[in-house]
Structure 1
């Protein structure tokens, strides 16, 4: 059974429940390492788009009543006062604020009549190139505004969406806040593919290494890869369930036209889950390949030792036979070769002839070409 404390994501859930045990509903738990909170607003319509840095949470309330589409992006969870004031400004239920601030939470969708809460998990390649990092992104959809709350201020998958808004590409500036929600969710789902591509390359590299020179370090890398893929599977599975719930949700905040796009996003999430399952099976098969490769390597070594032993068996017999040291003058049975002048050279020549003949026989059968030290 896997130790939950060995899994960083699982460790986050364990720490969260330990910290929240016995606390009252709506309690906010701010991580000491959480990034400072800042609020960035992107307000746009078909004719223009502007980006505003909001200093006070109360200022963002004005964007709820405008005819333009407003994306209020809250980056960082380090300032409890700003987060509480933000909750009051947007009339967030204390339990909703608790869910978006106390991370990590399981991906889910909840309808609050005039608000729609969506909790997703963003996955990005690890900065060091091995594994992945993930952060929670919470969506609170209003009629003409979308509030997003991210853990980190500078690392996300939303760059292409911001670019499409700025350059007026596609349907971004022509659609409402629900289409913006779809675009951001689609960016999160698409962020899984670069991570999976890196895992595919790692699996191919490990396969080649196992076939060429399997070591204990290679086995440790396979175990580590399996644990990472298990974590990625849990994230992608929950993400798919959340998107499925969003499609089933009959909310007036999401139009039927946007639901068509969300179905495409849901299909991508299924594709991601299939790829993760394939990679997990591949990683599991690498264990069998490792054991088989180690076994074959041991068999090759045993072949070499067997060939060498086979050559030396008759030589050992001859040397043992003439090393019994019976006195020919005492025993009625003697070895004529012991008193023969050419006896010793003849025995050595016989031993060389036998070893040479056996080596030639093994070579003709192709045994030497099939063994490697």
Structure 2
């Protein structure tokens, strides 16, 4: 196959733009975040027996929820700089944390500044159409009696199950403090990682079957694209393990001792997710080796056929070369049956060689 034709086959599967998105990350350059076109602000104000659930249009409408002797969860979907700065100033969120909320491509981490426990991590989604992992930065600011969560995308959310639990009175979630709510949010995010891992696992299994059965020219490009998604997973899952570990070791007054055991459960889950990511990365390396081995095997089969053909033609070449020499005295040269004897030898010797090759198992399949 010509080189240009081969490249045309795999070029649609080589996503160089995706490579730039994954690898070209420079923390010294501050990217500019675009203002969200739509912002959704929802508030849950509750205790063990009472619950107020409502949505507001303007960020200033959230200010009255501070210091009301209830647990308040303010969820902001769609970030605008002015809104984030306003709510940060009113609830005592340090400007460095505000910068982290408005940043892009931050590494998952946990900080505590001026009585605010701040967690930043990425929610992961799997795009079925492009078979790629998409990220959404989620910031959580935990204060005394309140929790504020910031989400980039106003159209995607995984906290509906948590909202349903909040609507049920006298549950563990309703009777606990804001630190337990923080645990619940982190637990749901980590559990959602497994849905993404499951989708990727299915893609890896299909890819493995295709390589084993067909091993076409596009397999290597598909393997490389899948390895890029493994990089995205590794970059987002592994730091969460350290983040949760730091929360467990934290001596913050915002975290009750009874809640620590729940964060340990999140730590166990993220450890399992990280091990699963490592297993997938090993599988992708094995698939690449499998692809290369099959390519080499095909090449060896071709070389074997060529070698056999060369061996079979060698006797005829030797005989023809001997009788074609320009000497006066050559056996059988001037005899009437010399030509027929030479032809018979050219046929019998290769047949004998074929029989010998077959007895030695040269024609058996290698796979």
Same fold (TM over 0.5): yes
Asked whether the equivalents of residues 35 and 152 of structure 1 are also in contact (C-alpha less than 8 Å), the reply is no
- Rounded to whole Å, the distance in 1 between the matches of 2:318 and 2:96 is 87
- Cα distance, 1:298–1:88 mapped onto 2, change above 3 Å: same
Residues 171-221 of structure 1, C-alpha deviations (whole Å, 9 max, x = no match)? 222322211110110111112112222333333333344444445532233
Please name the residue that 1:42 is paired with: 44
Asked whether the equivalents of residues 145 and 177 of structure 1 are also in contact (C-alpha less than 8 Å), the reply is yes
Asked whether the equivalents of residues 210 and 290 of structure 1 are also in contact (C-alpha less than 8 Å), the reply is yes
* SS of residue matched to 2:30: helix
Gaps of 5+ in 2: 1-15
Please name the residue that 1:108 is paired with: 109
Greater shift after overlay, 46-55 or 180-189? 46-55
- Rounded to whole Å, the distance in 2 between the matches of 1:351 and 1:10 is 62
- Cα distance, 1:129–1:169 mapped onto 2, change above 3 Å: farther
Please name the residue that 2:346 is paired with: 351
- Rounded to whole Å, the distance in 1 between the matches of 2:263 and 2:41 is 27
The answer to whether residue 193 in structure 2 is matched with residue 198 in structure 1 is no
Asked whether the equivalents of residues 304 and 371 of structure 1 are also in contact (C-alpha less than 8 Å), the reply is no
* SS of residue matched to 2:154: coil
Displacement of 1:60 in angstroms is: 1.1
Asked whether the equivalents of residues 137 and 148 of structure 1 are also in contact (C-alpha less than 8 Å), the reply is yes
* SS of residue matched to 2:135: strand
Displacement of 1:324 in angstroms is: 3.3
Please name the residue that 1:18 is paired with: 29
Please name the residue that 2:156 is paired with: 155
* SS of residue matched to 1:254: coil
Asked whether the equivalents of residues 39 and 76 of structure 2 are also in contact (C-alpha less than 8 Å), the reply is yes
Asked whether the equivalents of residues 57 and 89 of structure 1 are also in contact (C-alpha less than 8 Å), the reply is no
Asked whether the equivalents of residues 301 and 371 of structure 1 are also in contact (C-alpha less than 8 Å), the reply is no
* SS of residue matched to 1:17: coil
CA RMSD of aligned residues (A): 2.8
Please name the residue that 2:271 is paired with: 270
Gaps of 5+ in 1: 21-28
Greater shift after overlay, 312-321 or 175-184? 312-321
Displacement of 1:135 in angstroms is: 1.4
Alignment of 1:160-179 (within 5 A): 160-167=161-168, 171-179=172-180
Asked whether the equivalents of residues 93 and 114 of structure 2 are also in contact (C-alpha less than 8 Å), the reply is no
- Rounded to whole Å, the distance in 2 between the matches of 1:54 and 1:351 is 95
Please name the residue that 1:290 is paired with: 291
- Cα distance, 1:129–1:175 mapped onto 2, change above 3 Å: farther
* SS of residue matched to 1:153: coil
- Cα distance, 1:64–1:10 mapped onto 2, change above 3 Å: farther
Please name the residue that 2:7 is paired with: none
The two structures have a TM-score, normalised by structure 1, of 0.84
Displacement of 1:151 in angstroms is: 0.8
Residues 122-160 of structure 1, C-alpha deviations (whole Å, 9 max, x = no match)? 112124251211111111112322100111112133232
Greater shift after overlay, 66-75 or 198-207? 198-207
The answer to whether residue 255 in structure 2 is matched with residue 260 in structure 1 is no
- Rounded to whole Å, the distance in 2 between the matches of 1:274 and 1:302 is 42
The two structures have a TM-score, normalised by structure 2, of 0.85
